[in-house]
Chain A
């Protein structure tokens, strides 16, 4: 059966899951899930000697669900260390439910082969692990969830976490944990807070025990069962880059120039506007161009949202941005700013992007700038599979911010090497075209025909305007027409839209 946006979803998946109906069309019912009640009495200690003991005490058994956060990105030591120990203890058939996985998690392949891990849900998969999964490593398809979608799934009980293993660069012996100080600083722990609140058992893993109370804390003692000290939780250089470098790539600068002209020419660029930009070269350059324009026109932003980088912090300190909502800091400047700047607010993933709460921050966004691996002529966006059909990315907050924001802009080069970015049909849909407004390339922009207001508004814009079909044709003119990727029937991953419906599937590559 094809879902609303024409993606073929196999029958056996339709029997188990709802399919995508439209970005806000799913009906919601029920009550939030809840963790089991447990208590720690006065005088009891939460400090555990070793990680092994903590796993035993947590009561972890075959078939359970465990979670991790991805704030340590490619510097993470915790996932591999904990999984190795669990495997040694002979526990099997686990569901792994981290907020995301990166290329450092290739050692998980052996735990999948040995049956220690039988199911995975994650925002993303990269590197060897992603390649193996694309080639059919797992029996059960991985469920790809956006950051908002994961928060929703946990609150709704779709993901029930038995044990959460949460790394923190500092914690007191009672579990007040933070990413703001210590050796492996990552800043906010926005993706871990929901795990701490909803998991039956919460184990804090730190390399830095500090005096009680460790305040302010991202994770609170009231949610923590055990605290373990280990030698190292992560490699600082893999966690946060020292400083963000501005791109000198002329193509990226041209894209950024067109993107910022489009933003400045829109009705949304006015006093008190809000925005989110990513970490790509073009995206960071847009931030810089916007800053200049804000100074020139004497316009200030009410808030900036997202994964936060140094340029955003500088704008906060200059008074150009009133408040930063930060679910995840990408560099050390951002990570350190949270404790320094009162208006640099740490937020949880549910506050950030959950579609089924009483109003996530993305709902208040005016402008978001997002990247893409592929965009198709229906404006659907792929950020998860490469042009060869192999998984190599993450859903992240892409579909969440696109659905929430008033002006959703994709910045991407027309072609990358010989690979066209604008195509007839993307390999995988992460974000539906109905939530995308403008696509910006180095030769000009395309406006979604659904946005008649923007087509009218951008008539006199100093940026070339094309239809999306014209952009696609121009890409093909340069690189030629690629052959379609051949897949087998086997589904290796389900792509869940933020509301819990299935928007697409990823099949095994031939």
Chain B
């Protein structure tokens, strides 16, 4: 899956995460999280794994997290990636556990 344009999913409400994807080289993740000390590494891991499952290889992710659970992170990453790839059907729902 190829990111062809900048796209956004999610909000900056409590317990949500806002994901912005744009074209990049390799998977690059820039995360700001209210729970960085406790869950920063876990959130980066979930973002990376979700992108890998979707087959996204080159992307820059800018994420602002307000304490989202893993399932929310997966859903927001998938939504942003599909929007960025301009894919509007045949979604792979399996990336969300």
**A contacts, CB < 8 Å to B:** 387-389, 417-419, 478-480, 482-483, 485-486
Q: Could you give, for residues 36-57 of chain B, a 1 whenever the CB lies within 8 Å of some chain A CB and a 0 otherwise?
A: 0111111000000000000000
Of chain A, the residue at the smallest CB distance from B68 is A418
Are A417 and B15 interface neighbours, CB within 8 A? yes
Are A418 and B15 interface neighbours, CB within 8 A? yes
Q: Is B35 an interface residue (CB 8 A)?
A: yes
Are B42 and A480 interface neighbours, CB within 8 A? yes
Are B38 and A417 interface neighbours, CB within 8 A? no
Which among A389, A478, A480, A486 is the interface contact of B39 at CB below 8 angstroms? A480
Q: A interface, by DSSP: helix, strand, loop or mixed?
A: loop
Which among B37, B40, B41, B66 is the interface contact of A417 at CB below 8 angstroms? B66
Of chain A, the residue at the smallest CB distance from B34 is A417
Are A388 and B69 interface neighbours, CB within 8 A? no
Of chain A, the residue at the smallest CB distance from B15 is A417
Q: Contacts A479-B69, A480-B42, A480-B70 given: A418-B35 contact, CB under 8 Å? A: yes
CB distance from A413 to the nearest CB of B (A): 12
The interface residues of chain B lying within 8 Å CB-to-CB of A418 are 15, 35, 38-39, 67-69
Q: List 19 A-B contacts (CB under 8 A).
A: A387-B35, A388-B35, A417-B66, A417-B67, A418-B15, A418-B35, A418-B39, A418-B67, A418-B68, A418-B69, A479-B39, A480-B39, A482-B35, A482-B38, A483-B37, A483-B40, A483-B41, A485-B37, A486-B37
Of chain A, the residue at the smallest CB distance from B72 is A418
Question: Bound complex: CA of A42 vs CA of B19, how far in Å?
Answer: 75
Are A387 and B38 interface neighbours, CB within 8 A? yes
Q: Is B14 an interface residue (CB 8 A)?
A: yes
Q: Contacts A417-B14, A417-B15 given: A483-B67 contact, CB under 8 Å? A: no
Of chain B, the residue at the smallest CB distance from A390 is B37
Are A478 and B69 interface neighbours, CB within 8 A? yes
Of chain B, the residue at the smallest CB distance from A418 is B67
Are A485 and B38 interface neighbours, CB within 8 A? yes
Are A388 and B38 interface neighbours, CB within 8 A? yes
The interface residues of chain B lying within 8 Å CB-to-CB of A478 are 69
**Which positions 38-97 of chain B face chain A at CB distance < 8 Å?**
38-42, 66-70
**Which positions 1-28 of chain B face chain A at CB distance < 8 Å?**
14-15
The interface residues of chain B lying within 8 Å CB-to-CB of A389 are 37
Report the 9 A-B pairs with minimum CB-CB distance, sorted nearest first: A417-B67, A482-B38, A418-B67, A388-B37, A418-B35, A417-B15, A483-B38, A480-B42, A485-B37
Are B35 and A417 interface neighbours, CB within 8 A? yes
Question: Bound complex: CA of A482 vs CA of B34, how far in Å?
Answer: 13
Question: Bound complex: CA of A114 vs CA of B71, how far in Å?
Answer: 49
The interface residues of chain A lying within 8 Å CB-to-CB of B38 are 387-388, 418-419, 482-483, 485
Question: Bound complex: CA of A417 vs CA of B38, how far in Å?
Answer: 12
